[in-house]
Amino acid sequence: MSVVYDLVVIGGGPGGYVGAIRAAQLGLKTAIVEARGALGGTCLNVGCIPSKALLQSSHHFEVAEKEFSSHGIKTNGLKLDLKTMLGRKDKVVVDLTNGIEFLMKKNKIDYIVGFGEITAPGEVTVKGDQKQILKTENIMIATGSEVAPLPGIEIDEKLVVSSTGALNLPKVPKTMAVIGAGVIGLELGSVWRRLGAEVTVIEFLDVALPGMDAEISKTMGRILKKQGMKLKLKTKVTGAKISKTNVTLTMEPRDGGKVDTLKADVVLVAIGRRPFTDKLGLDKVGVKIDERGFIPVDEDYQTNVEGIYAVGDVIGGAMLAHKAEDEGSVCAEIISGQTGHIDYNLITGIVYTHPEVASVGKNEEQLKEAGIEYTVGKFPFSANSRARTNADSEGFVKILADKKTDALLGCHIIGPQAGDLIQEMVVAMELSASAEDVARICHGHPGLSEAVKEAALGAGGRALHI
Ligand code: FAD
Ligand code: NAI
């Protein structure tokens, strides 16, 4: 007789695999279905992990090339071995995805390789080496997202690449055009610029990283230009002509004007991602999707069909791995009869360029729009001793606090290790701390986190080192 599961998870990315582990921890008989032949989803296979591996390697290369000499370190004939760099990245991916497979075994979760389709309520049919029909009380959809295409521009993953192709270019292009100055465009654009490509980023809106605190976006744009990245803002790409060895893009100023062209060896299309629900059988069981293809869910992550839940990129909101993980975990808790909750205001956004950008809570523009009066505490890394010893002192910490109550409302950092520094502010905000609470915590010296303390002091008008 075939097993009846308590939960079948479709999709083995951060939402799905974490949901499966939490469900198994809570005693649910769980299976996870994944089509790509490796667990970890977009994030581990073609997203967060390989991109950060290349960001780290390319950062080392650039530092060795441009900064070692000022530390009194002489290098002779520094050379790039791209094959080894890409190989290291691939090994990191394989080690981590194997690690997830180990976690499935450890938690006694059945890992089923194949493409899952919901063929009836409580039934998932998996097409893999053989067809399998899984019976289950509950289904968690965690099928994630895919690259959003740009109409009229065909991605061949050779000359016109998505983020996936940009993680595997066989040689450093002489010139690279990136469409979209969002997170992927700036991270992967930075990788190839550091390795020697002349990179031009074309963005429809008027800043890089639109949606971030405007002062951060502006500073990022200035720093990127200083690093040698070209930014073409307020520009719309209207077409691409692919020849044997390069691509010619046609562009128009967003607000009207003369058509322009740009020739590049490689074009990276990075204009966002869209939910992936192809051939999932949603229409067969009546699960609704919205006009953008996302699956709407209630506060329990349940779709409009009882017993069918959804988490992660496929339900919309921030398309981030840590958001997907928390949703998977909370959804599993709810399915097993517990309660769970996520504070979406406290989901960090981190961009792993150099310097890094990190953001939590509200930014100045959002506070102004909401009519909330606030104080600003701002501290530059140029006045932080650790940043100076590290010769890595570009950027600042900005803390926003309620003018009347001093409650923390937001924190925005551009600077070294911003992605780790922000976590202190997330904890403080989660525990409803005030700026003064953070300012009165003793921070180790010399440390980058002292810039956070100083910004918190600054919100009360009493920064010490500036
Ligand atoms: P996914 O990770 O997309 O996983 C869904 C899985 O479901 C896939 O493996 C897919 O094969 C499988 N699947 C789909 N349909 C079926 C089916 N019917 N049957 C079986 N399997 C199916 N986020 C961060 O937080 N930090 C970062 O640094 C970061 N960097 C990124 C860099 C890049 C280049 C990209 C593209 C994304 C990055 N992201 C990052 C975003 C992050 O990868 C996603 O937010 C995250 O992976 C979403 O998790 P998920 O579980 O919802 O979906
Ligand atoms: P994005 O939404 O971050 O950026 C897309 C950019 O392209 C926007 O600035 C947009 O204005 C611009 N754009 C859209 N259409 C355009 C056009 N026709 N011409 C010119 N510009 C255009 O999307 P991106 O960078 O593709 O990333 C996708 C998702 O992956 C994001 O949601 C992000 O959260 C996630 N991700 C997260 C990372 C992280 O957390 N560090 C790293 C990489 C990706």
pLDDT of the chain, 466 residues: tens digit per residue: 468 999 999 999 999 999 999 999 999 999 999 999 999 999 999 999 999 999 999 999 999 999 999 999 999 999 999 999 999 999 999 999 999 999 999 999 999 999 999 999 999 999 988 899 999 999 999 999 999 999 989 999 999 999 999 999 999 999 999 999 999 999 999 999 999 999 999 999 999 999 999 999 999 999 999 999 999 999 999 999 999 999 999 999 999 999 999 999 999 999 999 999 999 999 999 999 999 999 999 999 999 999 999 999 999 999 999 999 999 999 999 999 999 999 999 999 999 999 999 999 999 999 999 999 999 999 999 999 999 999 999 999 999 999 999 999 999 999 999 999 999 999 999 999 999 999 999 999 999 999 999 999 999 999 999 9
- Asked if residues 20 and 28 have their Cβ atoms less than 8 Å apart, the reply is no
Which ligand is closest to the CA of 321, given by its number?
A: 1
Which ligand is closest to the CA of 100, given by its number?
A: 1
Tokens of 325: 């993980």
- Asked if residues 17 and 41 have their Cβ atoms less than 8 Å apart, the reply is yes
Does pTM surpass 0.85? yes
Strands of the 230-232 sheet, one edge to the other? 160-161, 266-269, 175-179, 198-202, 230-232
Give the number of the atom of ligand 1 that is nearest the alpha carbon of residue 11: 7
Which ligand is closest to the CA of 347, given by its number?
A: 1
Partners of residue 251 on adjacent β-strands: 237, 260
Give the closest residue (by CA) to ligand 2 atom 44: 184
**At residue 397, what are phi and psi to the nearest 5 degrees?**
-110, 135
Q: What is the DSSP string of 300-318?
A: TSB-SSTTEEE-GGGG-SS
CA 229 / ligand 2 centre spacing (Å): 17
Give the closest residue (by CA) to ligand 2 atom 38: 183
Q: Say which residue the tokens 């329990």 belong to.
A: 300
How confident is the model at residue 202, as a pLDDT?
98
CA 387 / ligand 2 centre spacing (Å): 29
Query: Which residues lie closer than 8 Å to 55 by C-beta, 6 or more apart?
Result: 187, 190, 191, 352, 353, 354
Could you give the domains of the chain? 4-146+274-342 (3.50.50.60), 160-271 (3.50.50.60), 346-459 (3.30.390.30)
* Cα(219)–Cα(413) distance, integer angstroms: 11
- Asked if residues 297 and 129 have their Cβ atoms less than 8 Å apart, the reply is no
- How far, in Å, are 110, 252, 265 from residue 17 at the CA level? 11, 43, 38
* Cα(21)–Cα(26) distance, integer angstroms: 9
Give the number of the atom of ligand 1 that is nearest the alpha carbon of residue 43: 43
With a 6 Å cutoff on the Cβ, whether 204 touches ligand 1 is no
Give the number of the atom of ligand 1 that is nearest the alpha carbon of residue 352: 28
Where are the extended beta strands (E) located within 49-109?
Answer: none
Give the number of the atom of ligand 2 that is nearest the alpha carbon of residue 182: 4
Query: Which residues lie closer than 8 Å to 94 by C-beta, 6 or more apart?
Result: 38
* Cα(354)–Cα(119) distance, integer angstroms: 47
CA 56 / ligand 2 centre spacing (Å): 21
How confident is the model at residue 1, as a pLDDT?
46
Catalytic residues: 445
33, 143, 359: which to mutate for ligand 1, most atoms within 8 A of CB?
Answer: 143
Partners of residue 408 on adjacent β-strands: 401
Report angle CA 94, 148, 348 to the nearest 5 degrees.
Answer: 65
CA 325 / ligand 1 centre spacing (Å): 11
CA 137 / ligand 2 centre spacing (Å): 37
CA 204 to centroid of chain Cα atoms: 20
